Amino acid sequence: MKGFFWCLFLSVCLSAQESIPPATEDEQEGAQAAPAADLRTQLNLLGQTDTQSGESRRNENVQFNLIDNNALKEMNQRLGVTPTVTAEFQPERNYYGSEFGTAPGSSILLLPKRISGWHGQANWTHLNSIFAARAFFQVGPVLPARENSVSLGLAGPLWRGGRLTIDGNSQKIRGIVNGNVQVPAPDERTALAAHPDVRAFVQQVLDAYPAALPNRTDIDPRMLNTNAPQRVNNDEATLRLDQDLGANDTVTASYSHVAARVEAFQLVQGQNPDTTTMSHQAGLQWRRSWSPRTESLTAFRLDRTRSLIVLENNAIGYQIFTSGLLRAISDNNAVPIDRVQNLWKPAAQISHTAARWQFKGGFELLRRQMNGRESDAHVTALSFFNNYGNPTITNLRLGLPSTLWIAGGELHRGYRNWDNWFYGAAKWTATTQLTVNMTLGYRPISRPVEVNGWDRVPYFSDRNNFGPSIGLAYRLPGSLGVWRAGYGLHYGEIFPVTFQQVRFNPPNNYKNVIQDPDLLRLLAGGYSIRNNPPAQSVFYDYQPNLVSPYAQQYHALWELQPATAWTWQLAYVGSRSNKVLNHWYLNRAHPTPGVPLTTATVPERRGIQDSGEIRRVMNSSRGYFDAFRTTLTSRGYGGLSFEASYWFSKAMDLGGDYTNTAHDVDSFRNRSQGEFDVAGDLRGLSRFDSPHALLWRADYRLPSLRGWLPSWIGRWQLDAVALVKTGTPFNVVTGSDAPGFGNVDGISGDRPNLADPTVLGRTVSHPDRSREQLPRSAFTFVQPGEARGNLGRHAFRRAPIRNVNAGLTGQWPVRQDWMVSLRAESINLTNTPQFAEPGTTLTDPNFGVITNTLNDGRSFRFSLRLSR
C-alpha cells in the first residue's frame, strides 16, 4: 500500500506522451466517423486497454460473449462510469448515454483531409510474460505468453487533387489465462447414480473438470488455480481516397475491414465459446461548396458485420449449472450464434453561415437487415442446487437435477427495419460574450418485420421521437472565465437482439422449463421438443406500446483560467432516463391452497396453464444520474503538464440501465424476485455506480541539455496516470428456488432476508477480510410462503480501483524529416489487485470468499516507432 501511494505522488510530478485531453468534449469540428478506439466497444474486441484513462489490463478469465454491447457493459461494471460534460451537442450525433463517458454515436459524414507531402509511420509493440508479475491468486510461475502489435500508416498526394490515406494494424496475442475455478473435491469425483446411463453421463460431467486437485484450499476447499491458453487475432485495415473535382467539389471513397478471432481459454472443458467477427465498411461521399457561406455533404455507407460464436470443440454438449458451487460448464445460454447484419446508411447535410447565424440541416437514414441463427437454451441446460434434502454436490453425483431447460425449432430468421434521423440546428453568436446553440431532431423507427413470415414483432412503429437541445456559452467579465449550460433530449433504441427474441416463441420454436426432471428420460430422448411439444413453453412477450428509451441530459460548466497555462473546471452533469428496457418474468408459480409448495408443482401453480413463464420486454425502468466534477489542468510549466480530476456521482435505476438489452445475461441478472411490485423490488444502485473517483495524469519533458550531452542521447519524456475509484455494486442471492431457500415460483435469483442491517452498504475489499465483511450470519433464507427476501438490490460493493500506469519515451531525429521513438510502459506499476466480488450465493461454501481479480498483475509493454 505504501508503494502505491508513493507512485501516486510521483504521478503528479511526471509526464504523458500525448497531450492530456480536457474534461469536456469540444465538438466544434462537426461530425466525424468513429475513431478506431471505438471499435473496442462496437465490435467487442479483446486485448485493448485505455492506459491514459487509468485502466489496467483486464483479467481475461472474466469471460463475456463478444457481441452486441457486451464489451461496454463489462467496462462499465469493472471500471464504473466517468461523468462527462458535452460542451456542445452536435445535431448529427447521438448523445444517449454520453453523460456516463460512452462515446456519442458517430455520423457517417467525413471531415475534409488536407495533406501536404507524404507522411507515414510504422509501429511495433511487444508485451512478454517474462516482464510480468504474478496475479494475486496465481499458484506457480507466470507461464510463457506474448503479445505483438504492428501498425502502419501512410498518407500523401497521389496526383493533382488526389490524396491517399492507408492505415493498418495487426495484433497477435498468444496468452495464458490464469484463474480460479471451483472443481470437485478429491472425494467428489465419482458418480453415485444407480442407473448405468445416468452414472456415465454424470461421470462425463465430473471428468470435464481438470484432473488436478484443488490447490487453494486455504480460500475454498474446491478451489483450483490453473492456466489455459487463449489466442486472439485482431486485424484492421482502412483505405481512404480524397479527390478534388475542381475548386468546389471533393469526392471521398473509403473502405475499412476488421477481422477478429478468439480461440477462448478453457479452464474447464467446454467452458467458453470461440468467436469470429468480420466487419466491412464501404462509403462514398460528395462535398460541395456552393458559396463561401454554403456547403453540402452527401454520403452513402454500407456496414456489414458477421458474428459467429460457437461451442468449443471439446464441449460436452450440455450446459451444467451448480449454483456457483462448481464452475459452470458452457454457461452461455445464447450460444451458438451466427448473425449477419447489414446497415445501409444514406446521409446528407447542408450548412450555411449568415452574419451572426450558422445553420445546419440534414438526415441520416438507416436500413437494417439482420439475418442468421440465434439460440436460447438450444444447448440443453441442467441446474443442480440444494433440493430433495441433499446438498448441491450430492444431487450432481446422484444425477438429480432441479431444473431442465430444453428448446427446439426453426431458428433462422431475417429481420428488417428503418431507424432514421432528421435534424436542424442553429448557432447564434448574439454578442461577443454570448453564444446560443439550438437543435431539433426527429427519429422515427419502424417496427421490425421478419421477411419470411415466420414471426410478427408485436409492437408498433415509433414515430413521435422529437429531440430538442439548447446550449449557452457566456464569457464572464474579467478573469471569471466561461460559463456553459446545456439541455438535450436523446433517444436510445430497441436493440436488434431484443426484438429478435420473438423467434423463440411457439409454434415455430418451443422452450420447455421442467422442474425436477428425470435425467434418464432426458438421455433417452423422452423430453424431445420435436416429438412432444410442451404444453407450457416459455413465451417472449412485448409491451404493445413498446418504444425507444430516451434521456433528458443537462449540464453546467464553469471554466476558469486562474493563471497563465492553468485551467480550472467546475461541472455538473445529470440525466433522467425514461422508458428504459427491462424484462419482467410473469406467469410465475404462486402458493395455491391444496397444492404442495415444491419445485415439482411449479407448472400446476401457474396462473395461465397453457403457457410457461412469460418474459415480457417492458419500458419499465427509469434511470437517475447526477455528478459533480472538478478538474485542474496545467500545461507546459517548465516542461511539466498535469491534470487532476475528482468526481462525485450517483446512478440509480429500476432494474435496467441505458445498456440493458433485456436479453440473456441482462435478463437474468436484472429480474425481480417476484411477479408483483417489480419496480419496488428492483429499485437500487446501477450496476456501474461508482460515487468517488480521483484521476491524475501528468507528463514531464526532460530538458534537452544541448551542448552538454551528445545528440544520440535524444529527447526523453516521463508520463504517469493514477486512478483511485470506488468499486461497483453487487447482489447477494439465496442460490436455490427450493422450499426453505427461495420462494418456489419457478424463477431463481431470490435475495435473502437481512438479519444484520449493519452490513448494508459495505465494501468487501480484501480476501483476508471478506468473510468478516460479508458474514453468512447476516442473512436468512426466504421462508415458505414469503414472496421475496427483504434484502435490496445491489446493496454491497466490490473492492476499489487503485491503479498506476507509467511510461518512459525517448525520441531521436533521423535525417531531416524522420523520427525514431522508443517507449517502455508499465501497466499496473504497483501490482495492485482490483478484487472481484466475493461468492454471492448463500447456499455455497464459498459465500463471502473473494476468489478472483478483475485486473492483471503488473506488466511492461515496449514500443518502437518510426515516423515522418
User: What integer pLDDT is reported at residue 601 of this predicted model?
Assistant: 95
**Distance between CA atoms of 442 and 337, rounded to whole angstroms?**
33
Closest CA to 752 of 731, 769, 766: 731
Give percent of the chain with pLDDT exceeding 70: 95
Nine-digit cell string for 298: 452527401
pLDDT at 24: 38
Q: What is the pLDDT of residue 18?
A: 31
The whole-number average pLDDT for the span 399-410 is: 95
Question: What is the mean pLDDT of the segment spanning 356-379?
Answer: 97
φ, ψ of residue 288 to 5 degrees: the values are: -130, 125
Nearest to 642 by CA among 544, 748, 524, 722: 722
Please say whether the beta carbons of 302 and 343 come within 8 A: yes
Q: What is the pLDDT of residue 816?
A: 79
What does the pLDDT average to over 315-329? 92
Instruction: Report the distance separating Cα 477 and Cα 463, nearest Å.
Output: 45
pLDDT at 13 over 80: no
CA distance 242 to 857: 45
CA neighbor of 263 nearest in space, from 191, 217, 311: 311
Beta bridge partners of 541: 616
What number of H helices and E strands is found in the chain?
Answer: 10, 37
Q: How far, in Å, CA of 246 to CA of 285, rounded? A: 16
Which amino acid is it at 508? N
Query: What DSSP string describes 63-92?
Result: ---SSTTHHHHHHHHHH-----EESS--TT
* pLDDT value, residue 3: 44
What pLDDT is recorded for position 37? 53
Read off the amino acid at residue 408: G
Provide the 3-class DSSP secondary structure of residue 767.
Answer: coil
Q: Among all chains, which residue has been given the C-alpha cell 479527390? A: 243
Provide mean pLDDT across the span 693-706: 88
CA distance 492 to 551: 8
Q: Tell me what pLDDT residue 189 has.
A: 97
What pLDDT is recorded for position 710?
64
Residue 324 binned pLDDT confidence (cut-offs 50, 70, 90): confident
Write down the architecture of domain 24-113+153-734 according to CATH. Answer: Beta Barrel (2.40)
Q: Which residue in this structure is represented by grid cell 496468452?
A: 175
Is it the case that residue 736 has pLDDT exceeding 50? yes
Distance CA 75, CA 81 (A): 8
Angle at 367 between CA 366 and CA 373, to 5 degrees: 125
Closest C-alpha to 631, from 557, 533, 711? 557
Residues forming a β-bridge with 146: 128, 174
Task: Report residue 636's pLDDT band, with 50, 70 and 90 as the boundaries.
Answer: confident
Residue 712: count other Cβ atoms within 10 Å of its Cβ. Answer: 6
Whether the pLDDT of residue 729 is over 70: the answer is: yes
Q: Which of 794, 792, 802 is nearest to 729 (CA)?
A: 794
Which 8-state DSSP code applies to residue 783?
A: P
Pairing mode, if any, of strands 539-542 and 614-637?
A: parallel
* pLDDT tens, residue by residue, 466-485: 999 999 999 999 889 999 99
Please identify which residue in the block is written with the cell numbers 486455504. 218
pLDDT band at 8 (very low <50, low <70, confident <90, very high): very low
CA dihedral 23, 24, 29, 32 (to 10 degrees): 80
- Residue 832 CA to residue 810 CA, distance in Å, equals 27
DSSP for 487-515 reads EEEEE----HHHHGGGGGSTTTEEEEEEE
Write the CA distances from 500 to 452, 503, 580, 585, integer angstroms.
14, 6, 18, 18
CA distance 253 to 239: 8
More confident residue, 36 or 84: 84
User: SS3 string of 191-245?
Assistant: CCCCCHHHHHHHHHHHHCCCCCCCCCCCCCCCEEEEEEEEEEEEEEEEEEEEEEC
Whether a cis peptide bond, with omega within 30° of 0, leads into 184 is: no
Q: How confident is the model at residue 96 (pLDDT cuts 50, 70, 90)?
A: very high
Q: Which residues have CB under 8 Å from 442's CB, separation 6+? A: 421, 422, 423, 465, 466, 467
pLDDT in tens, 231-287: 999 999 999 999 999 999 999 999 999 999 999 999 999 999 999 999 999 999 999
Task: Give the HSE-up count for residue 750: Cα atoms under 13 Å, Cβ half-sphere.
Answer: 33
Query: Which of 785, 779, 789 minimizes the C-alpha distance to 749?
Result: 789
Average the pLDDT over 155-167 and give the result. Answer: 95
> What's the rounded Cα separation, in Å, for the pair 454 and 413?
8
> CA-CA distance, 299 to 240, in Å (whole number)?
14
Q: What is the pLDDT of residues 197-231, one digit of tens each?
A: 999 999 999 999 999 999 999 888 999 999 999 99
pLDDT band at 19, cuts 50/70/90? very low
pLDDT digits (tens, 9 = 90+) for 586-626: 999 999 999 999 999 999 999 999 999 999 999 999 999 99
Is a pLDDT exceeding 50 seen at residue 22? Answer: no
- Tens digit of each residue's pLDDT (9 = 90 or more) over 782-794: 998 899 999 999 9
In one-letter notation, the amino acid at residue 219 is: I
Asked if pLDDT for residue 711 goes beyond 80, the answer is no
Decide the pairing of beta strands 482-491 and 466-475: antiparallel
**Partners of 627 in beta bridges:** 573, 649
C-alpha pair distances (Å), 136 with each of 51, 142, 215, 637, 767: 20, 12, 14, 39, 10
Least confident of 33-47, 426-440, 490-504, 756-770: 33-47
In degrees rounded to 5, what are phi and psi of residue 758? Answer: -70, -15
Do 69 and 10 touch, CB atoms closer than 8 A? no
DSSP code for 318: S
Tens-digit pLDDT profile for residues 518-569 = 999 999 999 988 888 998 999 999 999 999 999 999 999 999 988 888 999 9
Tens digit of each residue's pLDDT (9 = 90 or more) over 122-136: 999 999 999 999 989
The pTM of this model reads 0.92
Q: For the chain, how far is it from start to end, CA to CA, in angstroms?
A: 43
- State residue 752's pLDDT score: 97
Bridge partners of 867, per DSSP, are 121, 819
Give 644's strand partners. Answer: 632, 696
Q: Check if the beta carbon of residue 260 is closer than 8 Å to that of residue 227.
A: no
